[in-house]
Chains A and B, each alone.
Chain A
Amino acid sequence: QVQLQESGPGLVKPSETLSLTCTVSGGPLTGYYWTWIRQPPGKGLAWIGYIFSSGITNYHPSLKSRVTISVDTSKNQFSLKLSSVTAADTAVYYCARLDIVVGEGQDYGMDVWGRGTTVTVSS
């Protein structure tokens, strides 16, 4: 079955760029939407954005100026970059597959999740 694995530095300095990669195994990346979600310590889930395998993106408005999600179909990976980080960006970051059909308004949910990776922003 499809599995996702996040990878990247667990510690990022303030003002620097957080970079994470999600590797998709056991199934195709092409033809699906892929998303990033984060969860600050002791808090709820927060959506960051999504990307379709063709490269179409949609970001949370509050993060739009700092976030970039990209895809590398040759490596079966998609990535997250978040610039100018502060302590408020400290969180567990999850990648997930988003089963939606945008043109038809159909949302079947985030059906496959990675285990999550903890990122701490601190000097």
Chain B
Amino acid sequence: QSVLTQPPSASGTPGQRVTISCSGSSSNIGSNSVNWYQQLPGTAPKLLIHTDNQRPSGVPDRFSGSKSGTSASLAISGLQSEDEAYYYCATWHDSLSGLHVFGTGTKVTVL
């Protein structure tokens, strides 16, 4: 079982803003940066946000990340139908020589 807890689901209508939380502890999120991955149906995950709030080249600025204490969040503004996917947060337990952990995953549905 994952040590990073995410809500199992989130939803919104096109154009709305959706926020996904990722709750951890002082040993993981509280000590290391957080990355977010998007997994579209039937495909490999894709890096969406790295180092808490940085978007890789090519990722729309509708996606934004933040972190505070032992929790992190991913926000999707201007929700689009193609954003329907699973989203996973990820970080390390203790250090980068330790255990890498993924969140439990959140299914975003566009209504």
Using a CB–CB distance below 8 Å, which chain A residues touch chain B? 35, 37, 44-47, 50, 58, 60-61, 94, 99-102, 105-111, 113-116
Contact A61 B96 (CB under 8 A): no
The contact sample of 29 A-B pairs, CB cut-off 8 A, is A35-B100, A44-B2, A44-B86, A44-B88, A44-B102, A45-B37, A45-B88, A45-B90, A45-B102, A47-B99, A47-B100, A47-B102, A60-B99, A60-B100, A61-B99, A100-B96, A102-B95, A105-B32, A105-B96, A107-B32, A107-B35, A107-B92, A108-B51, A108-B54, A109-B50, A109-B51, A109-B90, A110-B45, A110-B47
Using a CB–CB distance below 8 Å, which chain B residues touch chain A? 2, 32-33, 35, 37, 39, 43-47, 49-51, 54, 56, 86, 88, 90-92, 95-105
- A96–B2 CA distance with the chains assembled, in angstroms: 20
A53 to chain B, nearest CB (A): 16
Which B-chain residue is minimally distant from A112 (CB atoms)?
Answer: B47
The 3 closest A-B pairs by CB, nearest first: A109-B50, A109-B35, A47-B100
Which A-chain residue is minimally distant from B39 (CB atoms)?
Answer: A45
Contact A116 B50 (CB under 8 A): no
Q: Which of A45, A61, A99 contacts B45 (CB 8 A)?
A: A45
